[in-house]
């Protein structure tokens, strides 16, 4: 194929023209840009060496057509040609054709395999389309009106919705050129034009239903006629049925929507929300600028990520080829081209090397700019490619970050529609803008879900491929307590009903909220403490306004996420202080770093484990990495001097761990003494009860501890040996299993017997049905997401503990999950 070189004073213009031309040639023709100067302050100009390089970079046996703008571009192109080795020089043709029109026409003609002369001729004719449209002066129109109307005739009705637009036009020329005929074509009484020429065929502007009239002279008449008929049958290569946009074609609609027409997911966080769906594939991801000195590492990270995504994409492409045919697979060709775009990759590499940007930010910056460029295109087909670019951008970002750690930025209040959302992402959401979160994968107790609850964001998860039914900008209504999603376009009446319900809910919420700060005392005068689970000062504030009697669980691991190094003592101190300040003197229980499992933090260097939930998690990690642990303990001790805090070790499974952790704490305290830094000797120490083994050594543990806090999520996961993140199991994963209830009872009794405090900080605490049951088991302290507190306090005020004990006295005999559910409903 003939290659093309675009020379312009402006780098942007040259690259833009290449982009346009490549669009036409479907990236099959080698086209290079030689624009501008390498002078940042004044980049306008042409450079003969650049042009020479560009020509060499696309050198082709079939020839190289050089198109240029004006003045020095012409002279430098000549100079560049003279500098080429003779063999190449001979096949270079400098062409006076108009730059943009010429490039597009040349690309299309080259693609169909024309020779250098023919391509140049097409380039010169490139202007004809515009002339026809704008009606150039009669004498200037180059169209040969006397062009033969002789020959045998074939008539063809344009079958596809979009008419003879760019791609079908290219295909038509391709087909024509396969046969040894002179073919002219016309539509709507327009002058006949050569069907071999893309620029001329493009001027026809044939719409759906128009009749194309071909006049054919030559030997291959019937073969050509058959090919045309096939082309018509193929709907001119466009997808059949409906005005289908490219984007929708690539997602074969295999959506399983509930028979009743609504979408049913797993309820994750309560609340009703109605709003615009924001499908998180487009522009909603953002990465903050980050400077990383270890450029080489970042560079490797970046390169590996691109390689991985490319091989993944290649795999998908192969599959698509098998399942959906060439049309679908072509989309992945474009993805692969993006991933191998040397210039873009180079740009990213330079940002990493020269500006010391993190791999994620450099990649994000370059590809977001590219996406924006495509979004501004006037051609619809090109505009739609923007979402492909975003997809590739996000895939690579995913690979670079290892986990889902990109920040999501919404510009207007919307319901977020995501495949999967990470805990850190959830936490970074602007709560004023996120009306709800619905996700393809995830379960009731994945950390993102839990966080959504503590932020009071209605959320539904586990939608699987039903999620494809929701398109960007659709108005949808979601009910987080039932897991049902309605689309306004199909169920306007349901959306209205949800609105009414939402208002009622709001009213009830206001009522409860007004009493939230009052103590929770049952009708038979038993007082309960309702505490909050939080991960940040922001959530502590929310918890306080919702009437939390303190913080029962402050998850500090989020302080360690989304960064390159662990937080320093001073930074930790400030954040802990903010949380305490936000609680206005109420007690705050701070859990030490609980890393591992589903909360990977790359820089902590936890090796890949075949079973991370049973691996180096929580206190196990901290005891092996004492420097990080002691830094945290030091910050905590210092806080204890001025605030009412308690510390809690996570994932304790044996006494040895408590002893080792306490030894480190003693060391920290000794060091503080030496430095004359104040701390409270009375600070209480407790553990999370989540490893089942603890149940059997409560008396031994109690000697060294002040309190226990039951984490029902992990306790359930370990008791039932059931991965809580595994959506295939999410149906059976429940803290209400008889085995879990009995374990809870044993722990609560044991703690009461040993005289140490016990509370419960798992998700079970926020289930109002379970509140009564837990009260019957003797639990008086619950910790939950802040926004749930008013509701639970309300429930407690309306219950009678002695009645509950009576009602649930047979709990030990419950045998199945269904029985428990029935009993508490």
Partner 1 sequence: MVTIKQTQLIEWLKNITLVIRENKDILTALDSEIGDADHGFNMERGFNKVSEKIDELSRSQDIAMLMKNTGMTLISSIGGASGPLYGTFFMQAGAVLGDKTEITLTDLKNSIENGVKGVKDRGRASVGDKTMIDVLEPAVQSLSESVGENLSLEQALSNMVDVAKNGMKSTIDMIAKKGRASYLGERSIGHQDAGATSSYLILKALKETIN
Catalog residues that contact partner 1 under the rule CB under 8 A. Answer: 9, 37, 39, 42, 44-50, 71-72, 75-76, 78-79
Shortest Cβ 394–partner 1 spacing (Å): 39
Nearer CB in complex with partner 1: 53/574 = 53
User: 221: buried, middle or exposed (CB in 10 Å: 19+, 13-18, 0-12)?
Assistant: middle
User: 704: buried, middle or exposed (CB in 10 Å: 19+, 13-18, 0-12)?
Assistant: middle
Q: How far from 574 is each of 568, 570, 578, CA to CA, in Å?
A: 10, 6, 6
User: 377: buried, middle or exposed (CB in 10 Å: 19+, 13-18, 0-12)?
Assistant: middle
Nearer CB in complex with partner 1: 52/393 = 52
Nearer CB in complex with partner 1: 39/501 = 39
Nearer CB in complex with partner 1: 80/590 = 80
The residues that are catalytic are 447, 761
Helices (H), 439-553: 447-454, 492-514, 537-545
SS (H, E, C) 614-652: HCCCHHHHHHHCHHHHHHHHHHHHHHHCCCCEEEEECCC
CA distance 537 to 539: 5
Shortest Cβ 52–partner 1 spacing (Å): 10
Nearer CB in complex with partner 1: 37/475 = 37
Q: Residue 235 in contact with residue 167, Cβ under 8 Å?
A: no
Nearer CB in complex with partner 1: 44/223 = 44
Phi and psi, residue 460, nearest 5°: -130, 140
Nearer CB in complex with partner 1: 72/545 = 72
Shortest Cβ 69–partner 1 spacing (Å): 12
Give the DSSP letter of residue 31. E
Among 426, 405, 409, residue whose Cα is nearest residue 361: 405
User: 758: buried, middle or exposed (CB in 10 Å: 19+, 13-18, 0-12)?
Assistant: buried
Shortest Cβ 48–partner 1 spacing (Å): 5
From edge to edge, which strands make up the β-sheet containing 263-264?
263-264, 484-487, 475-479, 272-279, 414-418, 434-439, 459-461, 266-269
Shortest Cβ 37–partner 1 spacing (Å): 5
Among 772, 764, 766, residue whose Cα is nearest residue 786: 766
Nearer CB in complex with partner 1: 71/585 = 71
The three-state secondary structure class of 457 is coil
User: Strand 475-479 to strand 272-279: parallel, antiparallel, or no bridges (unpaired)?
Assistant: antiparallel
Shortest Cβ 7–partner 1 spacing (Å): 12
Compute the half-sphere exposure of residue 227: CA atoms within 13 Å on the CB side of its CA: 17
Q: How far from 363 is each of 331, 390, 481, CA to CA, in Å?
A: 21, 11, 39
Structure tokens at 776: 């019957």
Radius of gyration of the chain (CA): 34
Structure tokens at 329: 């697979």
CA distance 493 to 497: 6
CA distance 517 to 49: 75
């Amino acid at each position: 194929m003939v290659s093309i070189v675009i020379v312009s004073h402006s780098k942007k213009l040259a690259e833009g023209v290449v982009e346009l031309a490549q669009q036409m040639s479907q990236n099959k023709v080698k086209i290079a840009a030689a624009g501008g100067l390498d002078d940042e302050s004044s980049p306008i100009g042409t450079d003969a060496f650049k042009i020479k390089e560009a020509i060499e970079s696309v050198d082709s046996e079939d020839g190289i057509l050089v198109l240029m703008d004006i003045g020095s571009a012409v002279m430098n192109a000549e100079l560049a040609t003279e500098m080429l080795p003779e063999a190449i020089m001979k096949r270079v043709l400098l062409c006076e054709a108009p730059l943009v029109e010429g490039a597009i026409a040349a690309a299309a003609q080259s693609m169909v395999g024309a020779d250098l002369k023919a391509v140049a001729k097409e380039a010169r004719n490139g202007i004809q389309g515009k002339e026809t449209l704008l009606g150039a002066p009669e004498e200037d129109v180059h169209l040969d009106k006397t062009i033969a109307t002789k020959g045998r005739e074939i008539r063809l009705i344009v079958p596809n919705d979009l008419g003879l637009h760019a791609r079908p036009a290219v295909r038509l020329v391709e087909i024509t050129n396969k046969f040894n005929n002179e073919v002219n074509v016309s539509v709507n009484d327009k002058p006949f034009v050569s069907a071999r020429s893309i620029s001329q065929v493009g001027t026809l502007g044939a719409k759906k239903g128009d009749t194309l009239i071909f006049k054919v002279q030559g030997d291959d008449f019937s073969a050509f006629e058959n090919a045309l008929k096939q082309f018509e049958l193929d709907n001119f290569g466009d997808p059949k049925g409906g005005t289908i946009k490219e984007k929708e074609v690539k997602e074969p609609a295999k959506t399983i929507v509930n028979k009743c027409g609504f979408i049913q997911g797993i309820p994750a966080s309560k609340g009703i929300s109605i709003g615009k769906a924001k499908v998180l594939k487009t522009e909603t991801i953002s990465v903050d600028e980050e400077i990383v000195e270890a450029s080489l590492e970042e560079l490797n990270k970046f390169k590996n990520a691109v390689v991985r995504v490319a091989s993944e994409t290649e795999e998908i492409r192969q599959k698509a080829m098998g399942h959906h045919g060439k049309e679908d697979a072509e989309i992945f060709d474009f993805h692969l081209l993006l991933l191998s775009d040397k210039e873009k990759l180079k740009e990213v590499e330079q940002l990493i090397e020269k500006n010391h940007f993190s791999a994620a930010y450099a990649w994000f910056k370059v590809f977001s700019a590219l996406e924006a460029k495509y979004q501004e295109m006037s051609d619809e087909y090109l505009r739609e490619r923007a979402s492909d670019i975003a997809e590739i951008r996000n895939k690579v970002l995913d690979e670079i970050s290892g986990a889902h750690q990109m920040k999501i930025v919404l510009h207007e209040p919307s319901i977020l529609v995501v495949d999967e959302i990470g805990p850190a992402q959830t936490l970074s959401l602007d709560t004023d803008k996120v009306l709800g979160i619905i996700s393809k994968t995830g379960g009731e107790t994945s950390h993102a879900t839990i966080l959504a609850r503590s932020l009071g964001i209605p959320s539904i998860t586990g939608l699987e491929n039903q999620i494809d039914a929701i398109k960007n900008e659709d108005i949808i209504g979601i009910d987080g307590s039932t897991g049902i999603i309605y689309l306004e376009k199909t169920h306007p009446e349901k959306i209205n009903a949800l609105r009414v319900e939402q208002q009622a809910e709001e009213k009830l919420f206001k009522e409860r909220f007004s009493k939230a700060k009052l103590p929770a005392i049952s009708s038979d005068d038993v007082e309960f403490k309702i505490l909050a689970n939080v991960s940040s000062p922001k959530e502590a504030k929310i918890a306080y306004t919702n009437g939390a009697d303190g913080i029962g669980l402050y998850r500090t691991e989020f302080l360690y996420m989304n960064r390159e190094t662990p937080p320093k003592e001073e930074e930790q101190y400030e954040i802990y202080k903010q949380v305490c300040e936000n609680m206005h003197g109420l007690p705050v229980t701070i859990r030490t770093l609980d890393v591992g499992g589903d909360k990977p933090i790359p820089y902590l260097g936890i090796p890949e484990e075949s079973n991370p939930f049973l691996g180096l998690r929580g206190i196990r990690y901290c005891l092996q990495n004492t420097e990080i642990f002691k830094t945290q303990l030091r910050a905590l001790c210092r806080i204890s001097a001025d605030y009412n805090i308690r510390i809690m070790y996570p994932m304790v499974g044996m006494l040895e761990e408590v002893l080792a952790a306490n030894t480190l704490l003693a060391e920290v305290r000794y060091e503080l003494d030496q430095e004359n830094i104040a701390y409270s000797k009375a600070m209480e120490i407790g553990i999370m009860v989540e490893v089942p083994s603890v149940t059997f050594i409560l008396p031994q543990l109690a000697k060294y501890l002040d309190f226990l806090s039951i984490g029902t999520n992990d306790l359930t996961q370990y008791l039932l040996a059931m991965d809580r993140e595994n959506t295939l199991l999410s149906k059976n994963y429940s803290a209400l299993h008889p085995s879990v209830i009995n374990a809870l009872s044993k722990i609560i009794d044991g703690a009461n017997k040993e005289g140490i405090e016990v509370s419960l900080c798992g998700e079970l605490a926020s289930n109002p049905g379970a509140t009564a049951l837990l009260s019957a088991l003797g639990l008086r302290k619950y910790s939950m997401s802040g926004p749930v507190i008013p509701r639970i306090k309300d429930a407690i005020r309306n219950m009678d503990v002695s009645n509950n004990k009576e009602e649930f006295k047979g709990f030990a005999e419950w045998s199945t999950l269904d029985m428990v559910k029935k009993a508490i409903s």
